[in-house]
Structure formats: C-alpha cells, structure tokens
Amino acid sequence: MQPLDDDNLLAVSDRYARFARSEAHGNSAFYEAVCEAIAVDEELCARIAELPPAKQQPNLVLASARYLDAPEHAPADFTAWLVDAWPRVRAVALEHRTQTNEPNRTGVLLTLLAQIDGPVALIEVGASGGLCLFPDRYSHTYDDAHRLDPDDGRSAVVTRCETTGAVPFPTRMPRIVSRTGVDLHPLDVSRPEDARWLRALVWPGQREREERLDAAIGIARTTPPALIEGDLNERIGDLVAAVPSGVTPVVQHTAVLAYLDAAGRDRFFDQMRSLPARWISYEGRGVFPRIDAQVPGGVRADENRFIVSFDARPVAFAAPHGQRLDWM
C-alpha cells in the first residue's frame, strides 16, 4: 500500500466536496449529503485515496456501493456501511468504470437523425450497453406538447425533453437498418451483472431514469445491437467502410470524447471530417474547440450544458441527460 500524505487526503476531500456542490446539488439530495459527509471523514478519504486516481471519482465509488446494495435511507448509515464494506466496494470499483448509459439522450439525437432520409446504418462510438442505438424503438416527448411514437405504437421507454428555440421536432422515425456500437468495454445488458451495474450508475431517488433504463434494457435484450470491443479512433474507419451502398452511415456519440485526451479528440474530429458519414455529436464544452468556436456568441467558460452538433456545425445546447434542449 502506498503511504498516504495529507495532500492525497485533501485532494479526495476537495473532490467529494466539489461533487456535492456542483454535481449532486439539485440532482440527488442523498448523494449531496453523502459526499459532504465523505469530504470531512478522514478515514473514508484515506481509503478512497488508496485507489488509483482514475478510480477515486465519486460517481464510481458511489455506484460501486449501490451495486452492493448499500443502505439508502440515511446518509450516515450509507457512510458507516461504506467503511465496513470497503474491501468489497474497492473490488467493485477496481473492476468497473463509469459507463452510464442514458436512453433519454436519444430524444436530443432524434431531432437530427429524423432529418436523414432513407435507410440509416447507425454507428455509436462509446456505446456502453448500446441503449442509445434504439431511438426509433422509443417514444419521445418534447415539452409535453410534441410526441413521436414508434411506428408500431407507444414504447415502454418514453424520453422527456424540455426545449427552447426553433427545435425541429421530429415527425417521423429514421429508418434504421443496422445498429452497431463500439466501446473500449462494451456492456452486455443480457448479463444480469452488467444490467445491475448500469442500474447502480443511476443516482438514488431518480425513479424515472431507473424505469426508463429497465424498459430500454428490455428492448435491447430482445433485439441486441452489435457491440464491438475497441477504441473508437481505431474502429471508426472500418465501421463506416462496412456500410453497404444505398445506406447512409450515421455516427453518433454522447458523453464519450471527454474520456480521450486532446490529441485523441483531434484525431477523431479529423477522421469524421474526412469519412463519408453523417455525424451527430453531443458532448461537453471544450471537447471540440473547432465546433465550440462556431457557436454564435461563444461558449461561456462555466457552461455545463453539452453542445450538440451536426456534421461539425453546432446546432443546440443540451442538458447532459437529454432532459433539456436549447436550439441555437
């Protein structure tokens, strides 16, 4: 075991305090209270600091605890349980990654996908369990005023999105003839443990997200997408080249490129500009500076909405889980 110094403990404490303030606040009162408690608990900070830096992230540690059925009625019980169960939590955190798969994001993606005529080969990079590969199998609602259902009727998965601006509300589903995902570590939702991990990544109290996730897992289990293990930069060229003529390749991704370094993101941008494919990107500020630079009025340094772009042109800001879409 590495000896811990105070700087390590302080860094963990600071990270959990910041997570409480800027990420959990307003989204999960329970996680906010738990992270505030961890930030001032020297014993827990010391244990977390023993993990490799990439594994210290609050989302991963908390999801690992949820995966093991940590008690969720009172924050103090959760943190006491975390101390007792630490060896098991640690093992789960070391084996897993944050791979949140959020089907609600498809409501945002669909506004662009629905504009593409003819048969589409949908390719998702960083697909996790592939649940964003089924936009045409879900029902979509925008502001409770616009709704689009799959051709065979209402879906058990209903996305919800509040909007501003001139959103091109979809009026028809894209004709998706193939669904392929690539991921460094694809999750197979037909495996109970992978589905359990995806559920653990949803935050406590987010019932609607849990129900949507379960329903989407049900759909993916009956018609599994093709999920390939690999790095997106290595695979994307071959995946696009494999699409038969007469079918439009569409590459989409959400909340993925932030995992790459700047050189990896640049390489992907350049590949996407030269490949014969349509390209829908839904990523955080700063991921593609060449797209951010085109946003009318610029992108504020504290912008926490994601930027949605179509063929490298920014079109909208969107909340990270697809719950809001502000057209530019």
Ligand X SMILES: C[S@@+](CC[C@H](N)C(=O)[O-])C[C@H]1O[C@@H](n2cnc3c(N)ncnc32)[C@H](O)[C@@H]1O
* Site map (CB under 6 A) of ligand X, residues 139-158, x = contact: --------------------
- The answer to whether 270 touches 153, Cβ cutoff 8 Å, is no
Considering the complex, state which of residue 64 and residue 254 has its C-beta at the smaller distance from ligand X. 254
Nearest to 313 by CA among 297, 293, 291: 291
Check binding of 132 to ligand X (CB under 6 A). yes
What proportions of the chain, in percent to the nearest 5, are helix, strand and coil? 45, 20, 40
Specify the stretch interacting with ligand X by CB under 6 A; choose among 100-108, 112-120, 216-224, 309-317: 100-108
Instruction: Look at the block and give the residue holding tokens 């961890």.
Output: 38
Q: How many CA atoms lie within 13 A of 274 on its CB side?
A: 8
Within residues 286-325, the interface with ligand X by CB under 6 A covers: none
Distance of CA 82 to the CA centre of its chain: 25
Site for ligand X in 104-123 (CB under 6 A): 105
Indicate the residue among 83 and 242 with the shorter CB distance to ligand X.
Answer: 242
Least distance between ligand X and beta carbon 138 (Å): 13
Please state at what angle helix 42-49 crosses helix 75-84, rounded to 10 degrees: 50
Which single residue is written with the structure tokens 């589903």? 173
Nearer residue to ligand X within complex by CB, 9 or 59 = 59
Comparison of 49 and 316: residue with beta carbon closer to ligand X: 316
* Residue 146 CB burial class (10 angstroms; 0-12, 13-18, ≥19): middle
Dihedrals phi, psi of 274, to nearest 5 degrees: -105, -15
Chosen residue from 8, 57, 100, 281 binding ligand X by CB under 6 A: 100
Distance CA 109, CA 315 (A): 11
Question: How many positions of this chain bind ligand X (CB under 6 A)?
Answer: 24
Q: How far is the CB of 310 from ligand X (least distance, A)?
A: 17
Stretch that binds ligand X, among 10-18, 38-46, 125-133, 294-302 (CB under 6 A): 125-133
Residue 194 sits in the site that holds ligand X (CB under 6 A): no
Q: How far is it, in rounded angstroms, from Cα 100 to Cα 256?
A: 10
Strands (E), the chain: 119-125, 139-142, 146-148, 158-164, 175-183, 226-229, 248-254, 278-283, 306-310, 313-318, 324-327
Instruction: Rule CB under 6 A: say whether 128 interacts with ligand X.
Output: yes
| Residue number, 128 or 159, with CB nearest to ligand X | 128
Taking the complex as a whole, how short is the minimal distance between the CB of residue 160 and ligand X, in angstroms? 16
Compute the least distance from the CB of residue 282 to ligand X, in Å.
8
126 binds ligand X, rule: CB under 6 A = yes
- Distance CA(322)–CA(110), nearest Å, equals 11
Bridge partners (DSSP) listed for residue 181: 124, 227
Q: Which is nearer to ligand X, 227 or 315 (CB)?
A: 227
Contacts to ligand X from residues 222-261, by CB under 6 A: 231-232, 253-256, 259-260
- In this complex, which beta carbon is closest to ligand X, that of residue 10 or of residue 184? 184
Calpha distance 185→227 (Å, rounded): 10
**Residues within window 254-283 making contact with ligand X, judged by CB under 6 A:** 254-256, 259-260
The residue at minimum Cβ distance from ligand X is 126
Q: How far is the CB of 324 from ligand X (least distance, A)?
A: 15
Residue linked to tokens 């811990």: 4
Residues that bind ligand X (CB under 6 A): 97-102, 105, 125-128, 132, 182-185, 231-232, 253-256, 259-260
